[in-house]
Structure 1
Amino acid sequence: MLNDTKTEVLHFSSRFIKNPSPISAIQVGDTEVGVAPEARNLGALIDRHMSLIQSHVNKLCRSASLGISKIGRIRKYIDRPTAERLVHVFVTSHLDANNSLLYGLPNSAIAKLQRVQNGAARVVLGVSGRDVHLNALRKNELHWLPVKDRIVYKILLLTYKSLNGLSPAYIRNLLAAYTPGRSLRSALQALLVVPKTVSTKNYGDRAFSVAAPKL
């Protein structure tokens, strides 16, 4: 059953197609629902080109930056462990939410999120300015993985759960163990099959069924 007043329609197409023929509207119940430029799905804001940059990434940056700003106002009144806990609740939770969808995005998009994490680190550590060796402090003092590595970690975690029966069947079915046709040393490396039917780097290579075996 679809609630016609709460239904959103999104027509996916490649951004490389110059003249797509979008769907104008769809009849749901008694309501004609027009095509939206973006729609929310399980907390992720997905646009029609699956780029996630203008929609999802920018929304994450705004939400996380707001949290950093509020924590910064009270930073001098709280100790470092408390500041770090607040950052994890109001900043890191946004950066980590659905972050496996960000795999394969351009470095410019990941850099936006990295700047947000850097700002959170400055608030927790009580440092300012660009002359501080923030990367070393983030690694040695806070033990935070960079945003790009957190995305890879999430995919590898999902892969581990899939291979050990800790994930739903629809995720496990996306992976297949690599079995060579003859005796090879690679047979002992517990590799996964990388699908060969994918030819689009901007879309297909970002799928879990492709990204997980490669990683």
Structure 2
Amino acid sequence: MQTHISFIIKTCFFHLRRIASIRRYLTHDACVKLVVSLIFSRLDYCNSLLAGLPASSIHGLQRVQNAAARLTLRKTKRDHITPLLRSLHWLPVNTRISNKLSTLVYKCFNDSAPEYLQSSLDLYTQPSDRPLRSAADPLRLHIPRSKLASAGQRAFPSTGPSVWNSLPLELRQSPSPLDAFKSRLKTQFFP
């Protein structure tokens, strides 16, 4: 994945330099639209495959997002990045990955995801010999054990349920439409 991440970083910084050369001619809204279409389309493409990677691998993608926020808001490297991301309503890269995984699991529950993804998720069944606190959670997913420590734990059948189970129960049980779920999810993940 490191080759793929390096290519994304290189391409995004190329586009950021090109946007920076014309930034003084752009309005704020036009710059945001340009950055979202050129940079975030690359950062978000297949980013659920990056789930479970070490933070050192994702750090380069976060640097791209930070540079895009600074360019959009005309700030310097010395300005703190968290308020900038918050003012633009942009989630950090690792949170964007969790957001996408949670949305995929939600689609699996509502039969709007592909069949192969739906079949890879199993509801957690409680052992019959003793009652557990998890019995009150009907939408808890089973996290399968994998033989491969690196690739197996990063696959959707493992990462999807672990992210889903970490969400609050009222968010997982909401029978809301997809757009409302995405809005509530972003509110949950926003720092």
Match of 1:132 in 2: 79
Q: Which amino acid aligns with 1:134?
A: I
Give the secondary-structure state (helix, strand or coil) at the position aligned to 1:57. helix
Q: Kindly state the Cα deviation for residue 201 of structure 1 after the two structures are TM-superposed.
A: 2.8
Correspondence 1:85 to 2:63: no
Q: Kindly state the Cα deviation for residue 99 of structure 1 after the two structures are TM-superposed.
A: 0.2
Q: Distance in 2 between matches of 1:107 and 1:158?
A: 22
Correspondence 1:160 to 2:109: no
- Whether the 8 Å CA contact 2:58–2:93 is kept in 1: the answer is yes
Match of 1:96 in 2: 44
Match of 1:191 in 2: 140
Residue 94 of structure 2 is aligned with which of 127, 133, 148? 148
- Whether the 8 Å CA contact 2:48–2:100 is kept in 1: the answer is yes
Q: Distance in 2 between matches of 1:194 and 1:202?
A: 15
Q: Which amino acid aligns with 2:75?
A: V
Residue 65 of structure 2 is aligned with which of 93, 117, 126? 117
Deviations 1:109-158 (A, max 9, x none): 100000001110011001112x211112211x101100010011111111
Q: Which one has the largest radius of gyration?
A: 1
- Whether the 8 Å CA contact 2:105–2:160 is kept in 1: the answer is yes
> Which structure carries more strand by proportion?
1
Q: TM-score, normalised by structure 2?
A: 0.80
Deviations 1:71-113 (A, max 9, x none): 1111111111110000001001000000001111121110000
Any gaps of 5 or more consecutive residues in structure 1? 1-51
- Whether the 8 Å CA contact 1:178–1:187 is kept in 2: the answer is no
Q: Kindly state the Cα deviation for residue 188 of structure 1 after the two structures are TM-superposed.
A: 2.6
RMSD in angstroms over aligned alpha carbons? 1.2
Per mean C-alpha deviation after superposition, the further-off stretch among 69-78 and 176-185 is: 176-185
Identity of aligned residues (%): 38
Correspondence 1:172 to 2:118: yes
Q: Kindly state the Cα deviation for residue 185 of structure 1 after the two structures are TM-superposed.
A: 3.4
Q: Kindly state the Cα deviation for residue 163 of structure 1 after the two structures are TM-superposed.
A: 1.1
**Larger RCO, structure (CA 8 Å, separation 6 or more):** 2
Give the secondary-structure state (helix, strand or coil) at the position aligned to 1:175. coil
Q: TM-score, normalised by structure 1?
A: 0.72
Q: How many residues align?
A: 160
Any gaps of 5 or more consecutive residues in structure 2? 164-191
